[in-house]
Structures are given as C-alpha cells and as structure tokens.
A and B are shown apart, each in its own frame.
Chain A
Amino acid sequence: MQQLVFAVGTMVAGVLGCAAYFWGTSYILDLIFPSKGRSGVEASRNLRITNAIRPWLFLAPALFALTIYLIYPVIMSVWFSVHDRAGQNFVGASNYVWMLNDGEFRQSIFNNFLWLLVVPALATFFGLVIAALTDRIWWGNIAKTLIFMPMAISFVGAAVIWKFIYDYRAEGTEQIGLLNAIVVAFGGDPQAWITLPFWNNFFLMAILVWIQTGFAMVILSAALRGIPEETVEAAVIDGANGWQIFFKIMVPQIWGTIAVVWTTITILVLKVFDIVLAMTNGQWQSQVLANLMFDWMFRGGGDFGRGAAIAVVIMVLVIPIMVWNIRNAAKEMKGH
C-alpha cells in the first residue's frame, strides 16, 4: 500500500514537474526575448527567435527520452553484439558465427518463420471474415466486442487460459482439458499437445491468433465500411453474387489496410516472448528468437554479446517493415 502512495506521489510530482518545465521554459523564453510592448523591428526579431526556439523546448523531454530509451540502445546493441559476454573485449563477428552454428538458434529462426507465415495470415483472415459477417447481423456489435476481448488479456494470462485447454491427463482418466476431451469424445487418444515437437508451435500460435484477430477485425471492419456504396451497388446490378462482391469488389479496395494489419501483426510476432516463456520456455523444439535472446541475457550469469546479437537479428527482420511504414507516412503527409 505504501508503495502505491509512493507511486501516486511520484506520478503527481512527475506531472507537476513536466508542467513546470513547459510553463517555466516558455516563460523564461518570453522574458529574454519579449515581443509584447516592443517597437516593430525588435518585436518581430524577438518573435522570430522565440518561434525558432520554442518547438525545441516543447520537444526536448520527448527527444531526450526517445534517445535514451530507443536510439542509444539500438546503437549499443550492435556494439554489444561484437563484444564478449561482459561487453568488454571486442570479438568481431564471433557471436554471429556462434549463432549460425548453434542448433537452438536455427531452430528459433525456423520456428519464427513458421510463426511469421501462420499468425499474420490466420489473424488477418479471421479478422476479415468476422468483420464482413458481423456487418450483416443485428447483434454484430456484441459479437465483435466478444471477439475483440482477448486483446485486453495479457499474453501470460492467455497462456494460462490455453494451457488449461491443452491440459493432458493419462489415457483412461477423465480429461479436464477441452481439446483432449473433444478428441477422446470422438474416439481419439489424448495427447500432451504442447510437448509434441513441431506441432506444438501451432498450438502456441493459436494463442496469438486468438488475441490478434480482434485487432484485425476492428481495423478491417472500419475499412470495409469506408468502401463507397456505389461500387457494391454497381456489382449487384451487374449480377455478382456474394462471394464475387466480397473478393472481387471489396477486398481489392482495402488491400492497403490489409497490408497494414498484416505488417503490424508481423512485428508483434517477431517480438513474441511471453507466450513461449509461459507455455514451454522453448522446450520441445518450440524456441523462438525473443525467448532465446532473453535466455542468453540471464543464462549462466548472462552473455550480453550473444543476447545482443540475437536482438540485432530481430531488428534486422523488422527493418523492411520500418522502411515501408516511414515511406507510407511520408506519402500521407505530402497528401495533406
């Protein structure tokens, strides 16, 4: 309880501090370069100076935090990745060489590509289908809310929920895991799903699909509603059926949004860590890059060189999407 009071206190202090900074610097700036009540030339000169400085005062705290917490670490990670486990001696590319020869790393890369193929595709597909279907029924909004709900659940919470579904009891005893109960009801043998090499990846992916479908649905639903009515009406008049309208008229018009959803989920997949840690911790050949990296950060006292090298690999995989995002944003700003 005491720490909660401390937290609220810090929060208030932080907010007041920020407010004081923004107000104070603004005030001082106006004091040094006053523009009110001065003669024409001096006033306009001072106004020009304050207008040039003020944006940077407004930006300074944000730029400082971004630099310390994101830009500096990106540079330092690359630096650490060519140094030894304590980050002291330069070792060249040996961390990367180790990586290429490490079976667990190759396993992680393989699994990560599986995740990249399956999760964005399935989540986008389900999201699109659900968005299209729920638009046609009166209780569509309730359905959407319920499917959107897993978005709010933490990866760890979701892992517990699904581990319960995959729970395995020895053959002959009553299954309390839903999946095994269904399998047994249909006459199959119960399986310890998350310990089955290769296939367990898909059982872990199901969790992320379950969480992310709501996100895809919300964005795609808005995009579908933005489609001009005339195009659909014209297709109806031309005698197109439901499938044709959906796949040939509607989907092509929202390709851009589909790509955004796809890439957003792709980024998330590259960073997936909590689910694997909570479900298998990389055992039974289910390791992924983010969990492997976390492993190396702390395993045996921690090997920062190898951990950083794995982080750099994740970063490199993200860069194409980053470039694409920046280009899109730039294009959009020119359009304004």
Chain B
Amino acid sequence: MNPATRSPLTWAVHLSVLLLVALWTLPTAGLLISSLRDKDQLAVSGWWTALSTSTQNIVARAPGADTQVERDGKFVISGDVLEGTAAGEVSAFGFSSQKPTAFKAGETAELNDGEKLTVQADGSFEIVSDTKMEGSRGQRIFFTAAIPPRFTFDNYVEVLSAEGIGASFINSLTVAIPSTIIPILIAAFAAYALAWMPFPGRAILIAVVVGLLVVPLQMSLIPLLKLYNGVGAFFGVPAKTYVGIWLAHTGFGLPLAIYLLRNYMAGLPREIMESARVDGASDFDIFVKIILPLSFPALASFAIFQFLWTWNDLLVAIVFLGAGQDELVLTGRLVNLLGSRGGNWEILTASAFITIIVPLIVFFSLQRYLVRGLLAGSVKGG
C-alpha cells in the first residue's frame, strides 16, 4: 500500500470501527442512562434526550375544598403544580382535558362555576372563589411544563428494596460462588490424570469429555428433576435446594473444566515432572506442588467462565431452585418483572443494570484470562 491510497482507506477503517463500536455499546449505554433518569421523564422521552429540557404535559390535582383559607373575604386554595419535581417552568395550562393548554402561564382562567384559577410560570397556583368552595375532590389542572433534566438513584433504591432485587442479588451470589469453586478441584485432578497418567482407556475418556462438551442442557432437565424429586422424597428433604443446584452446575461445568485444564496441563513441559519423579515425588505431590500452581492461568480462565455462566444462568436456576419469591435469582426476578412491570422502564432498566453489573466488573477486570480461556476452550479445527 503506498502512502497516497493509505490515508482515505485508514479513515474508512477508523470510521467503520467507530460505527460498529457505537452499534455494540449504545444499547447498554441507553440502559444505564435510562436507569438513572427521573421516572416521569423516562416515560415520555428517549434516553438520548436525557440532557435536554423536556416538555411534558402533566395533570395535577389541586387539594380538596377542606384546605381553603379565607382571605380578604374570598376563599383561596393554593399550591404548587410542580411539587415533587426539582424545578421547571410552566408555559401553559388549562382546566379541561379538551383544552389542556388554553391559557398561558400567569393568566387567569374562569372556571365553570365562577372560581378563578391562576397558574404562575414557577408552578404555584391559586383558585379564588367568592363563595365557600365545596367538594372533597380538588380541581384538575392540566399544564405544559419545561422540566430540566433530572438524574436520580431513586430507581435503584426502589428496586433494591421494594422489588426484591436485593434479596435476589444475595441468592445469585449464593448460587454462583460455590458453583464456581467446587468443580475446579474435581476437574483439576481429573485433568491431570487425563494429561499425564498413562492408563488404558484414556483416549476414550478424553473423547467422551469432548463429546459431553456440547450435550444440550435440555437433555438433563427432566431426568434430573425426577431424580431430585426421588432423592428428596426418599430422605424427606426438599427437592429444590442450594446444594442441588451447586452439584448441578458442577456437573454441567465439568466437561469444559476438564477439557480446558487437560489441554493446558498437557502443554506443560515434561522435563519438570520427570525430574520431580526422579527426586522421588509421588503423583499427588507433583500435582499439588508443581502442576496446580503452574496451571493458575487455566484455572482462572475456567473460574471466570463458570462464574459468568452460573451468574447469568436462568434455566438451571428456575428448574432446580424453583421460581418462588424467596429463591428467585436475579435473572429469574428480571423475567418476572418483565411480565409484571413490563411498561415500567424505570424499574426494568435499574433491575437489569444491577443484574449485569457484577459480570461486567468481572469482565473488565479479568478480560485477559477470559480471552485466554476462550482460545483454549474452542476445539481447534483442521
């Protein structure tokens, strides 16, 4: 490539990568921004307008007649239509849904029953009447206001306390941590045997592990559910327990763990092991003192995979842990919220962000190991 043609081509590369990166990050960015917005603004304007002042049509209700005060021989109900929002500017108002913007801010509207309504630009309003007002329901006031952007953690506070996300967060941790650690040790010993201990049938076992890598989880669900029910009934314990799901995740994670670790251990230099053996070390010593420390990168890779997988899993959790309110993990809770609070985006976005924050932290801090694991984990072709 000569310099003359390189420049525009490089620009094209930069631009197209920029476009692709935008395409891949905007969805998540939209979720994060939305979860931090005021819920009334979130409901009426797109997240890309989050920084601009939004014009909203709002309905407020004045307090009932029991709050009226007598002043200069007239009866007055006063208040603030913008109460609850931080600031804003009313541009127009009205008192019927047919003409919600009939009057400009500061003007006085004559209500049907002789009362006078004035709404100021700052949101304060007064209803003035010559006679005593009656009725417990206050006057409805329609108004259009320019509301400045408002960011808040209210959505997070709400989902953590009221929507059970906090409890589910603990449940997810409870499922994910042991499900990550327990398979590692089991797999490490098996991988060592498959990599460095000659015995008849070794090649077949390795082939079995490779085959099991791709067995669909769906195959396991019904027989295991039956098995768990049987075991639970036999011992008089609940069929759906944390121990049950830890073991299930262990079983499902083992093929990948054994495969990853075996490949890694098989690549370690033979000389180390032979010299240790000459010095009289047993297989057990060699494994614990030499292989295990050397295999740390592979162990870390698998741990990250398994953690992401168990944290993000929905299927195993709802089948083996149940879908009751107390045992729902984050993903299960989120699916429930999608059903029950489908239109409440302030709740969905905040909940979704809480469910993805832990994997994202793991991802960004340990990406190196994740990449290494991916490269080792996919069966090399050709």
Question: At the interface with chain A, which of B38-46, B137-145, B151-159?
Answer: B38-46
The reply to whether B178 and A11 form a contact with Cβ atoms under 8 Å apart is yes
Interface string of A117-150 (1 = CB under 8 A from B): 0000000001001100110110010010111111
The reply to whether B378 and A330 form a contact with Cβ atoms under 8 Å apart is no
Interface string of B228-262 (1 = CB under 8 A from A): 00000000000000110011101110110010000
Among residues of B, the one whose C-beta sits closest to the C-beta of A79 is: B223
Tell me how far the C-beta of B361 lies from the nearest C-beta in chain A, rounded to whole angstroms: 9
Tell me, yes or no, whether A110 is within 8 Å of chain B by CB. no
- Given A62-B186, A161-B27, A178-B30, check contact A156 B379 (CB 8 Å): no
Tell me, yes or no, whether A255 is within 8 Å of chain B by CB. yes
* A247 CA / B307 CA spacing, docked (Å): 38
Number of A-B contacts (CB under 8 A): 362
The reply to whether A76 and B223 form a contact with Cβ atoms under 8 Å apart is yes
The reply to whether A176 and B20 form a contact with Cβ atoms under 8 Å apart is no
- Given A137-B17, A157-B356, A274-B331, check contact A149 B222 (CB 8 Å): no
Residues of A within 8 A of B175 (CB): 7
Among residues of B, the one whose C-beta sits closest to the C-beta of A65 is: B251
Interface string of A10-48 (1 = CB under 8 A from B): 110011001100110010001000001000000000000
The reply to whether B31 and A161 form a contact with Cβ atoms under 8 Å apart is yes
* A271 CA / B34 CA spacing, docked (Å): 31
The reply to whether B220 and A70 form a contact with Cβ atoms under 8 Å apart is yes
Tell me, yes or no, whether A273 is within 8 Å of chain B by CB. yes
Interface residues on A, range: 35 or more
The reply to whether A164 and B348 form a contact with Cβ atoms under 8 Å apart is yes
- Given A157-B334, A277-B314, A325-B211, check contact A304 B27 (CB 8 Å): no
Among residues of A, the one whose C-beta sits closest to the C-beta of B377 is: A264
Tell me, yes or no, whether A101 is within 8 Å of chain B by CB. no
Interface SS of chain B: helix
The reply to whether B20 and A147 form a contact with Cβ atoms under 8 Å apart is yes
Interface string of B29-61 (1 = CB under 8 A from A): 011001000000011111110000000000000
The reply to whether B338 and A77 form a contact with Cβ atoms under 8 Å apart is no
Among residues of A, the one whose C-beta sits closest to the C-beta of B284 is: A26
The reply to whether A18 and B30 form a contact with Cβ atoms under 8 Å apart is no
Tell me how far the C-beta of B207 lies from the nearest C-beta in chain A, rounded to whole angstroms: 5
Among residues of A, the one whose C-beta sits closest to the C-beta of B332 is: A156
Residues of A within 8 A of B42 (CB): 176
| 6 contacts across the A-B interface (CB closer than 8 A) | A58-B283, A58-B287, A165-B27, A181-B46, A236-B1, A322-B215
Sample of 7 more A-B contacts, CB < 8 Å, known A147-B21, A255-B381: A7-B173, A18-B186, A66-B251, A154-B313, A164-B349, A257-B382, A264-B378
